[in-house]
Chains A and B, each alone.
Chain A
Amino acid sequence: MKEDNLISDRGEVTGMRPGSEVVIAEQQKTESAKAENHNTTDTEEQLEAKLMDRPKPKNVTPLANLKLTPKDIPVFEETPERKAKLEMRKKMHFKRKLRDWGVFTGYLTPSFVGVFVFFFLPLILLLKTSFQKSPTNSDFVGFRNYERVITNDAFIAASKNTLTFALISVPLAVILALLVALLLNSGLPGKSLFRSFLLNPMMVPVASVVLIWQVFFSYNGVINGITAQLFEGAEKIDWLKSSYSQIVIMLLFLWKNLGYNMVLFLAALNSIPHEILESAQIDGAGPVKRFFKIKLHYLSPTIFFVGIMSLINSFKIFREVYLLTGDYPYDNLYMLQHFMNNAFTHLDYSKLSAGAIVMCVVMIIIVGGLFFAESKFDSDVEE
């Protein structure tokens, strides 16, 4: 080992086995040569000095010998031709910019007009009414409506419920979908079949879903029947009117959105470069390590996207909740949408608009934060 190190240190790798006779012989030779070298006149330093002082090539570029002064730098005179040319160029640039802008707006206009009329204008109106006493009575009342809403018990409870639902069900939807996608991606036969099976719940109309959930989870429902048969004397629970109600709705949410999220994850898993995974495996990384160190890294944009989609769908689940339980559900299920719907039916528009604006602001903050985090995270990944 010792000899080997010595050879490699000197950069004289000759392709010989360490410890073989030849190496030892050569080593002795070089050692003696070294000792002689100190005495001879032709040292390496001199060689190097010779190399440095060698004659340099002349006239490499035609301008090399010219000595330029500031006077020689050409100054463009303000001739009329030049002026016209510059103006033309400016005009062209402006024209092109205008054209780009025109194309951008041209393609966007249909959407923008509609969005302005049906979404932005309503929001502006909402903002206006939130500062008025009532839509018909346009007295300015300042933040009194907001005060009324924020101190409202129903509003607080509703926002708490909505928030807990989103906070629990969205991560759950992401993680479960990721697990199922990993399961299907681990070389299971019939992958595409399972994929279409799991996508199916998305197609089922809301009305059927509601009907089925009622059959299963109502007081005299199937689940209660099964528990009664399995465990003697089990208490019957009215699932949708108990503290379990949110869990039931979460089940519905997961059942509905698992397939969609899973398809997204499957695609992302397939797009991970295979060589990296393989080389990690050869280097001895187990499946868990490969997942956390490699796959998760590549999945991060998809996780973000799935999170956003799940957030949208968690707001949409109100439709099912509404149809299952009506205007006034169990306390656990009273969502912000219920609050607004009820304010609408009670014609309490100022309360409704203040509540809606509060919700908008909170949502802008949350989504903006998410996007900011994503862009930060993305730039980290790219580095």
Chain B
Amino acid sequence: MDDIKRMERRKQATLARRHIYTQTSAPETFITSLSEEARENFFASERKRIALSLRRRKIKGGVLTGLGLFVAIFISALALIPIFFTFLNSFMSSEEIVANYQVVFQSMSGHASQGATYMSRTPVLKLIPEEVTIQQYSTLLFMNPEYLFKYWNSILLTLPIVAGQMVVSCLASYSFARYRRKRREVLFFSYIILMLMPFQVTLVPNYMIADSLNILDTIWAIILPGVFSTFAIFLLTKYMRQIPSGYIEAATLDGASEWQIFTNVALPLCKNAIFALTILLFIDYWNMVEQPLVLLTDINKQPLSVFLSQINEPELGIAFAASSVYMIPPLLIFFWGEDYLVEGISRSGIK
């Protein structure tokens, strides 16, 4: 292109632009075509229409939010009823509970013929006790030393498992997250498969191994497999892989050793996940039933969860109080660490 031509063209364009701004009149539109009065009327009607549609939209939004709130409240009520039910019923007197719920268990425990006599009766679902007593709690805590022993057993089983599994899985998942190779991925995959296995699959060999290690009928038969369970490794590895590699590189350049990177970079970044996993594991092992039933045949060593799950007619009077007291540690932990839990579970699911 030659420069003169370009210059000429630019000059023309500039001139033309100036020309437009000074010479062209405003284009004829619908608004300008109206007379003064008609324009006013038109604006007024438009204003009214917009206000109406805005109001309509507001109402629609309000109704929708209300509906959503209703659904959410309904669902959360469904979620909360059992907890309230247990807590409130725990303040009933034993007689009241037996009177209310005996029917249920009569038909439950195989008395098919006797169940017929209760045909006409239905249980009374009462949320509010007729008279509030702490009778259940007093019988439970002061007259049943067995209960407290089992409570202690539960703690004795759960805490070592949770602590041990967290330590082991922090180490293992750091190694899985930091060094990704093909063969190691295969190992990781096998860990995932192990995590998915129901306990019953390895029931027999677990029993045999516990027997050969001479730990059958001791708490170690449950603690040791629990400590090495791979559930936490799966989640923590997923979490640790999200740590930007730049952080670790920076630490290496600053001369940090492998252990320092682990304790000062990786672990603090995974704090939320570690707390969340601690809560999840605690709840899971606090509730375990099958393992103690098979591997801990000594009744005095069994945790409370086994005892509670076998509650029947005779102990019905204290069942609710026992459940309530049993529910307290998980709930406390939940309220203490809810933010960590939410934050920790949240990030594990996103890539």
Contacts and interface: CB of A to CB of B under 8 A. Distances in A.
B72 to A, nearest CB: 5
Contacts of B1: 44, 47
Given A203-B330, A311-B196, A188 B69 contact: yes
A340 interface: yes
Given A108-B171, A201-B82, A264-B345, A121 B205 contact: yes
21 contacts: A118-B228, A119-B197, A122-B205, A129-B204, A198-B76, A203-B330, A204-B327, A208-B323, A220-B107, A220-B118, A220-B121, A264-B345, A266-B346, A267-B350, A315-B196, A318-B198, A336-B200, A340-B198, A344-B204, A360-B201, A368-B189
B104 A220 contact: yes
Contacts of A249: none
B103 interface: yes
Contact of B85 (A210, A212, A228, A301): A212
A236 B348 CA distance: 45
B68 A349 contact: no
Interface in B77-93: 78-80, 82-83, 85-86
Contact of A202 (B20, B194, B200, B283): B283
Interface string B117-137: 011011101000000000000
A196 B345 CA distance: 13
A119 B69 contact: no
B123 A220 contact: yes
Interface residues on B, range: 35 or more
Given A211-B319, A341-B200, A206 B287 contact: yes
A159 interface: no
A63 interface: no
Contacts of B13: 14-16
Contacts of B287: 205-207, 319
Contact of A209 (B82, B199, B205): B82
Contacts of B15: 22
Question: In this complex, which of A106, A208, A214, A266 has the most chain B Cβ atoms within 10 angstroms of its Cβ?
Answer: A208
A70 interface: no
Given A112-B172, A114-B168, A200-B334, A104 B178 contact: yes
B308 interface: yes
B101 A183 contact: no
B193 A205 contact: no
A73 B209 CA distance: 67
Interface of A: 12, 14-17, 20, 22-23, 26, 42, 44, 47, 100, 103-108, 110-112, 114-115, 117-123, 125-126, 129, 135, 180, 183-184, 186-190, 194-212, 214-215, 218-222, 224-225, 228-229, 236, 238, 255, 258-260, 263-268, 271, 301-302, 305-306, 308, 311-312, 315-316, 318-319, 322-323, 336-337, 340-341, 344, 349, 352-353, 356, 359-360, 363-364, 367-368, 371, 378
A221 B123 contact: yes
Interface of B: 1-2, 9, 12-13, 15-17, 19-20, 24, 65, 68-69, 71-72, 75-76, 78-80, 82-83, 85-86, 101, 103-108, 115, 118-119, 121-123, 125, 167-169, 171-172, 174-176, 178-179, 184, 189-206, 208-209, 224-225, 227-228, 230-231, 233, 238, 258, 262, 283, 286-287, 289-290, 294, 305, 308-309, 311, 319-320, 323, 326-327, 330-331, 334, 338, 341-342, 345-351
Contact of A367 (B107, B125, B192): B192
A363 B196 contact: yes
A203 B283 contact: yes
A268 B191 CA distance: 25
B107 A363 contact: no
Given A215-B101, A356-B201, 18 more contacts: A15-B17, A22-B16, A22-B19, A104-B179, A135-B204, A188-B65, A194-B76, A198-B76, A205-B286, A208-B308, A210-B309, A212-B86, A219-B108, A220-B103, A220-B107, A221-B123, A225-B123, A238-B107
B346 A221 contact: no
Contact of B350 (A187, A268, A359): A268
Contact of B305 (A42, A196, A206, A341): A206
Contact of A110 (B65, B172, B231, B309): B172
Contacts of A255: 78-79
